[in-house]
Amino acid sequence: MLRDFTPHVVGVNRLSNSRGDKMGATTVAIERDEDEVTASTQKRGEGGAWRVLDMAKKHRSRVSWAFRSRFSSLMAIFVTAAIILVVSTATRGGNGALREAIEVFPVRDLGKEKACDLFNGRWVYESSTRPLYSERSCRFMSDQSACEKFGRKNLKYQGWRWQPHGCNLPSFNATNLLERLRGKRLAYVGDSLNRNQWISMVCLLDSLIPDHLKSVETTGSLSSFKAKEYNASVEFYWSPLLVESNSDDPVHHRIPDRIIRAQSIEKHGKHWMGADILVFNSYLWWRRNKMKVLWGSFEDKWGIYKEIDILRSYEMALRTWAEWLEFHVDTQKTRLFFMSISPTHFWGDEWGIDSSQNCYNETEPIAKEGYWGRGSDRRMMQLVESTIEGLTKRGVNVQILNITQLSEYRKDGHPSIFRKQWESVTEEQLANPSSYADCIHWCLPGVPDVWNELLYTYILFR
């Protein structure tokens, strides 16, 4: 039942720009160093012989100054050409990729830095370029996200693209991404929202690959999409609380009395070991007041259990996750990302309708800039930020992809009742569709495609 996921009213931190807070902006730029050449002056000598020597010095000084000036000019030209060559090489093959790369990661112009916050912007309806794939044509579409298949008639949710303020996202190019992933592993690790994003990525790549050269294999908690021609894999690993828990079964995990082993992650971590790109998330399953923490194993009858405040238990799990990354990830090989909160839309009073209503029957995004729903706990993302800051100080870089604000606007993008129902729907529920609407996950094509466009931008252009 979806009631298991009902969030509570939460506090405030600095991640969003709503209610006076500024968004935790990611600012990226390619900078060009400018050389400055200063000519030194010589003192004038006196007397005949000294005057001759002084003239010789001046001559040498002029020659030296001219040489240094020309050398500096040549170096400036060389540096500029090198930057253009690097950007051109990194983006060759895309549709206008060089222009797009410069727009997203602009050059510092005459000391005035132009920068782009990819996560701050607006939704623009553009049915001529959206959706990026067809729900029906994606062989690996999930019934949890196939809203058209399960009866949704209004498909406008598929036609929106994200427009950052001041720049454009590069066009998603599946060939470029597959080339970058050649011989590599991209792994999503987390809960069903990370699985939502994984399916989106699989569908974005699916149409490019012939049927006999692609497959999806599932073993336990690990599902892997294989692009055989590229020797590449795009994987999803079910680990909703990051650390070991009694909800780790990928199918049977609806357990009301959740328990974590806050200091144990090796059971999961061994499946991520060696991945070239790791994309983590963990929030949805922490939405409760307290979490039961176990010291000992689940098989140990002498294990110690204690209920701990949710912020403290989340912090404990993040610390274990961070320590695993620090000691088990090759930072020269592996790139690390953490997805911020994926928002829910359970309370209609937040956008001006009756409080008993939710995302059911919503067909338009929220227009109010900076809108923030009460289901997104900024305090928890502050814990993620501080954990990642600590990792950075220890030489492990994790990039937060701040999808929260842009996703907050999309009350229209959830499956609502248009998905496979895993449990029989009662007559009472049918009479009140809002009572069983899924306002957590996302229809595909849809919002998670933009999350992957942001990930694509960082993988190829950052």
pLDDT of res. 396? 97
Q: Quick one: pLDDT band at residue 458, thresholds 50, 70, 90?
A: very high
Asked whether the predicted pLDDT for residue 403 surpasses 60, the reply is yes
Report how far residue 192's alpha carbon sits from residue 5's, in angstroms, rounded to the nearest whole number. 12
The answer to whether residues 293 and 313 touch, using CB atoms and an 8 Å cutoff, is yes
The enclosing H or E element of 123 equals strand 121-125
User: What DSSP character marks residue 108?
Assistant: P
Q: How open is the CA angle 11-12-18, to the nearest 5 degrees? A: 130
Q: Which of 192, 239, 245, 340 is catalytic?
A: 192
Which of 368, 388, 362 minimizes the C-alpha distance to 447?
A: 362
Look up the CATH number of domain 131-238+272-281+322-418+432-461.
3.40.50
Average pLDDT over residues 345-370: 95
Phi, psi of 408 (to 5 degrees): -55, -35
Average pLDDT over residues 195-224: 96
Asked whether the predicted pLDDT for residue 349 surpasses 60, the reply is yes
Average pLDDT over residues 222-229: 97
Average pLDDT over residues 291-309: 90
Asked whether the predicted pLDDT for residue 302 surpasses 60, the reply is yes
Report how far residue 109's alpha carbon sits from residue 129's, in angstroms, rounded to the nearest whole number. 32
Mean pLDDT of the chain: 82
Q: Quick one: pLDDT band at residue 268, thresholds 50, 70, 90?
A: very high
User: Is 192 considered catalytic here?
Assistant: yes
pLDDT of res. 297? 87
Report helix, strand or coil for 117. Answer: strand
Cα 203 off chain centre by: 17
pLDDT of res. 299? 83
Q: Which of 191, 276, 438, 449 is catalytic?
A: 438
Q: Quick one: pLDDT band at residue 75, thresholds 50, 70, 90?
A: low
- Give percent of the chain above pLDDT 90: 70
pLDDT of res. 114? 54
Q: Which of 117, 414, 441, 449 is catalytic?
A: 441
User: Is 271 considered catalytic here?
Assistant: no
Asked whether the predicted pLDDT for residue 66 surpasses 60, the reply is no
Asked whether the predicted pLDDT for residue 115 surpasses 70, the reply is no
Pick the more confident residue, 186 or 9. Answer: 186
User: Is 441 considered catalytic here?
Assistant: yes
pLDDT of res. 334? 97
- Rounded to two decimals, what is the model's pTM? 0.78
The answer to whether residues 110 and 121 touch, using CB atoms and an 8 Å cutoff, is no
User: What DSSP character marks residue 327?
Assistant: H
For the stretch 38-48, pLDDT in tens is 333 333 333 44
Asked whether the predicted pLDDT for residue 354 surpasses 70, the reply is yes
Query: Token pair for residue 326?
Result: 């620090």
Please, is 138 exposed, middle or buried when counting C-beta atoms within 10 Å of its C-beta (0-12, 13-18, 19+)?
buried
Q: Quick one: pLDDT band at residue 300, thresholds 50, 70, 90?
A: confident
pLDDT of res. 401? 98
For the stretch 158-201, pLDDT in tens is 999 999 998 999 999 999 999 999 999 999 999 999 999 999 99
Average pLDDT over residues 344-367: 96
Pick the more confident residue, 440 or 58. Answer: 440
Q: Which of 111-115, 130-134, 324-328, 360-364 has the lowest mean pLDDT?
A: 111-115
For residue 163, how many other CB atoms are within 10 A of its CB? 15
Let me know how long the chain is: 462
Q: Quick one: pLDDT band at residue 254, thresholds 50, 70, 90?
A: confident
Q: Does 131 sit behind a cis peptide bond, omega within 30 degrees of 0 on the bond before it?
A: yes
Report helix, strand or coil for 272. Answer: helix
Report helix, strand or coil for 49. Answer: helix
Name, in order, each residue with C-beta under 8 angstroms of 194's C-beta and a sequence gap of 6 or more: 188, 236, 279, 280, 281, 339
